[in-house]
Structure 1
């Protein structure tokens, strides 16, 4: 890019985060911090929103193209650890970013940020595994999904409330308990989409209450839970248990981190109740739990320690039987240790489900 192109009167871009800023755009301070300091050109090339640590609030910082800068009068190159990456040894032009006492180049800093975020998601994933196993094993669990149509607009241009809702419900075995297309629009509604929904809400309520009341209802999001609770109450029923939504649990179980080192906070809707059940079963069957998360599982509510003592071969056979039955809560390779109280005997600790019932995922 030439100086003439840089000086063009086109509006400069405004970046919302430092991660969005190209490497060749620097502030005046960053020009001065280079190991071979440079003087920025006078043509503004962009701006970035960033926190001013002195004023403790975000403000716009001016950016200049370092490729159009000129050398300062300084002839000496700065030589210090501030320009050496402690991870890969790279010699950087800009000071390395120091975090947790370690100076890293931009690439190593991003890798460290991603690794730290991934480590923080492991315990959350283990918690969702425990929840999913309990939900799938509970015969009272029912998954309910509400699908609303696209909202039409009235003569004034405003969006109308949804004309109807498709309600699906399924149990832990994936059996369909409910599939209704319910009209939410009133009898005098001018919404043309109302004709696509044949069953009025008041006629659907008895079946809704009969199917769902007293059950442990698992919805996709809090908005679905609120709507269900209101409809069941309107129908004279009572909700046995109603969670806040499965979406956040699925996000935590997926534990995705983007290339910037930020946890991904969204996921696609399943679309139907049976697909929610499929997701819950996948979560319950997840065996790829890191070692540190396994330690959390072992100490969490939902597991108890059984100490098998005696002959080593017999202890290993009993462990294999418990594993085959699916009673083992934390599936690790058996590690018998000598029993100091009984010569020739071993002690084999096994974390088992507290109810003694087989794991819903089947044999471990």
Structure 2
């Protein structure tokens, strides 16, 4: 591209540049016994220096008036197993989001999808605690269903709690167990609406939060209801052609003021997780400050990208060619992050939702 005699090079990264060899054995199937005792890799983005720590050592890197931004979304038990009318075939129904509370319409994924057509009824639980009717096809696996339930919303939610399983990602190759209900949830989760946990936050224990608070670190909470689109496979080599699913997010006035004060005073502002980062980067004002917002975002962050709000980030280790790895590479520097991942594999760090953590500063 030429502009008044100058040549400007615009380099767009490709999907294949985010490949790396990840042994299946490094994908964590269970959390560590104690939340804040997972391993922590610290990556200094200016130098590429790497330190190996335990997660609770994160206290060393933050001081009074620094701000941590947490995503306070709450995971609900989104995976149901039901039976198709007449045949009795077992069908997995994954609740994505509620479309209409009064009509009890939900956007879902079904498996096996080939067996589920408009008009089919699905029965869930002993004595058919819940019954749903398929009312629309949305994608190859997507359906809109309507729950045929006459009780109150509170009763309906209670039945979902009884019947639903913790929606562990497919990468975790096992069935959910009772422990997952608590461990696949942050200790500060408040607003129900996510079908996947903001996993960087899973490392924070109540004790560690208290120690950070006593040190004077400020906490700002935002909400981004994580959908499965965050984990959707990228199928195009040209990253500019990949489309993210929309996710609802909320940034409050007080939280924006707290973060902006830290920016103005050149304090450390840390996004805890890719979902927190996505929320704040979707709420940037014209003067590059955080603004209050209640909206939906389909923002896809990949290198090169100029971040406006956070100057540090906590994240888990992500899978090859994932949009999450792309965001982290944009923040920490592509070469730095890919080198860090090579070290992580060599040092046998644990990957994905229940895996170890990285602090980029």
So what's the TM-score if we normalise by structure 1?
A: 0.21
Select the structure of larger CA radius of gyration: 1
Considering fraction of residues, name the structure with more strand.
2
Q: Which has the higher contact order (CA 8 A, sep 6+)?
A: 2
Considering fraction of residues, name the structure with more helix.
1
